[in-house]
């Protein structure tokens, strides 16, 4: 037998409640009534209604606080709340809003629509979700994940861009878009109107970069999107270069000083947004202000030659053949590039310069722990590079040798003592070639058996230098299920 649907009405207007209750009971709903917010909370916990109609005139508790309290309780956090009242709906409101005076037929119809939407969301609990934003916009999809308290990773993509949103029990806890992480990435993704998605169930992650609830995050994302539209006519293109005007000074606040420090060398507006940790809206407002004050100057859009492949087809073929060295061909040959740095942030930003870079299986955990695969790069012809990190320090030394198997070389990103000790052990004991993203090769690495080069110009040039002469003794692993 189908369970009876329960509606909780919280409204001090008893006459209006009687009329609406009668219409709902005629449709087979069970109706509970509360005259104030305190009683509504009590009934929400005890009766667990399918929908709550909460009037803005309710005494004791305001609608926003009522919703927040429900969301903080695991028993009630999935209950849809509809705000009723004389005020017109606010633009961009996340919750459903019914404006008085009611048209009973319309109210009943919309309640049935809300319940149907909740049923559809619950029906996906055992299914993997995938599709297009043209059919299911990202905010609606995230609301669905929240309603079902899903945990896992939502991969999103559109031509030239890939991102992800990680949810735990229906709450957003992390997001990524290129090199941008956390709320900054989430708010950018919420502006996407095209693209595809795929959700994979999984355990809650070890890293949490977003502390907002889902509704709060969606509201803030909508607010920032509106602000971006307002600022858009005042801004140069993302490819425009920003230059500091010598001698000009900003207002001296922390964000302005951070922006001016980043622009000690010219960067495009897009690069500035990626490098500055503050929200995009705050950065763009500051840029508009600094340009108007003459502290920054905008030059013509930077025209860069289209980046070619990291290695040519012949170079990829020769590298793969040398790595396999007599081993049977396989679907995918995987080799490691070991990245040495004491800063996880430096590692992430440096590798973010490489085009078409994909995240590792658990990039965040690897960066936090200093051990694992942080990124992957498909070179073509069944050859893939895994960028891996190893923990520095004497206590971790026993790990270095076994986990550097299948490595083709070492990238050194800083000259810290423990970084150089790790790189030297790999260079001398494993006989790996070393490339330093530094102006000069540190003395400790200068006499490495296969040499050490300085390549400070960028990640692509450093990787080209590293792969120019494949190591004769290194064999990459083939993904056949067998150990190397």
The answer to whether residue 156 sits within a structural domain is yes
In a shared domain, residues 333 and 462? yes
pLDDT of residue 474: 43
CB atoms within 10 A of CB 242: 21
In a shared domain, residues 294 and 426? no
In a shared domain, residues 285 and 328? no
Could you tell me where the beta strands, DSSP code E, fall in 232-324?
A: 240-244, 267-268, 296-301
In a shared domain, residues 116 and 147? no
Domain limit, last residue, from 74, 97, 122: 122
The answer to whether residue 308 sits within a structural domain is no
Q: Residue 255 is part of a domain; what is its CATH number?
A: 1.10.10
The DSSP symbol for 335 reads E
In a shared domain, residues 62 and 20? yes
In a shared domain, residues 191 and 240? no
What is the spatial distance between Cα 314 and Cα 321, in angstroms, rounded to a whole number? 11
pLDDT of residue 260: 87
| 267-277 b/e (C-beta count within 10 Å ≥ 16 → b) | bbbebbbbbbe
Domain limit, last residue, from 122, 147, 172: 122
Identify the bridge partners of residue 162 per DSSP, sorted by sequence position. Answer: 157
Low-confidence residues of the chain, pLDDT below 70? 1-3, 73-75, 88-96, 118-128, 300-310, 323-331, 355-370, 468-484
pLDDT of residue 172: 94
In a shared domain, residues 340 and 470? yes
The answer to whether residue 484 sits within a structural domain is no
pLDDT of residue 44: 86
Closest CA to 134 of 195, 78, 71, 200: 195
CA angle 179, 162, 356 (to 5 degrees): 75
In a shared domain, residues 147 and 86? no
Domain limit, last residue, from 101, 122, 143: 122
In a shared domain, residues 337 and 276? no
Burial class (CB within 10 angstroms; exposed 0-12, middle 13-18, buried 19+) of 304:
exposed
349's tokens: 């930003």
Domain that holds residue 261: 235-301
pLDDT of residue 142: 92
What is the spatial distance between Cα 279 and Cα 223, in angstroms, rounded to a whole number? 12
* Distances in whole angstroms, Cα of residue 436 to Cα of each of 175, 333, 442, 455, 457: 30, 25, 8, 6, 10
The answer to whether residue 192 sits within a structural domain is yes
In a shared domain, residues 279 and 325? no
Query: What is the number of domains present in the chain?
Result: 4
Is the bond leading into 101 cis (omega within 30 degrees of zero)? yes
In a shared domain, residues 156 and 275? no
């Amino acid at each position: 037998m189908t369970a009876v649907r329960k509606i909780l009405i919280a409204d001090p207007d008893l006459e209006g409640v009687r009329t609406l209750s009668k219409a709902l009971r005629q449709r087979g709903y069970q109706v509970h009534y509360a005259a104030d917010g305190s009683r509504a909370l009590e009934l929400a916990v005890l009766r667990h209604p399918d929908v709550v109609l909460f009037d803005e005139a309710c005494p004791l508790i305001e609608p926003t606080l009522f919703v927040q309290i429900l969301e903080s309780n695991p028993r009630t956090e999935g209950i849809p709340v509809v705000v009723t009242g004389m005020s017109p709906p606010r633009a961009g409101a996340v919750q459903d809003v019914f404006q008085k005076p009611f048209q009973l037929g319309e109210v009943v119809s919309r309640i049935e629509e809300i319940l149907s939407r909740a049923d559809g969301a619950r029906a996906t609990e055992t299914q993997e979700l995938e599709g297009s934003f043209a059919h299911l916009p990202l905010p609606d999809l995230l609301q669905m994940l929240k309603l079902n308290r899903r945990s896992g990773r939502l991969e999103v993509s559109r031509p030239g861009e890939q991102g992800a949103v990680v949810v735990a029990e229906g709450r957003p806890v992390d997001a990524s878009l290129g090199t941008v992480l956390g709320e900054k990435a989430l708010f950018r993704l919420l502006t996407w109107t095209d693209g595809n998605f795929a959700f994979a169930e999984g355990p809650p992650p070890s890293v949490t970069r977003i502390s907002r609830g889902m509704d709060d995050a969606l509201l803030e994302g909508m607010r920032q999107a509106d602000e971006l539209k307002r600022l858009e006519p005042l801004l140069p293109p993302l490819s425009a270069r920003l230059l500091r005007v010598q001698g000009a000074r900003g207002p001296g606040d922390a964000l302005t000083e951070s922006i001016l420090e980043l622009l000690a060398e010219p960067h495009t507006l897009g690069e500035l947004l990626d490098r500055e940790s503050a929200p995009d809206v705050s950065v763009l407002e500051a840029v508009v202000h600094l340009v108007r004050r003459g502290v920054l100057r905008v030059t013509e859009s930077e025209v860069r030659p289209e980046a070619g492949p990291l290695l040519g087809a012949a170079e990829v073929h020769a590298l793969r053949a040398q790595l396999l060295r007599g081993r049977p061909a396989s679907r995918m040959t995987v080799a490691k590039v070991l990245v040495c740095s004491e800063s996880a942030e430096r590692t992430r930003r440096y590798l973010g310069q490489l085009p078409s870079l994909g995240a590792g299986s658990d990039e965040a955990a690897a960066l936090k722990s200093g051990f694992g695969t942080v990124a992957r790069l498909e070179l073509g012809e069944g050859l893939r590079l895994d960028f891996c990190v190893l923990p520095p320090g004497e206590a971790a030394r026993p790990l270095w040798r076994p986990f550097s198997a299948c490595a083709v070389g070492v990238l050194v990103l800083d000259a810290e003592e423990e970084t150089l000790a790790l790189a030297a052990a790999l260079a001398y004991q494993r006989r790996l070639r070393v490339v330093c993203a530094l102006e000069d090769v540190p003395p400790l690495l200068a006499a490495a058996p296969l040499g050490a080069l300085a390549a400070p110009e960028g990640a692509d040039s450093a990787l080209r230098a590293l792969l120019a002469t494949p190591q004769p003794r290194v064999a990459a692993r083939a993904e056949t299920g067998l150990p190397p």
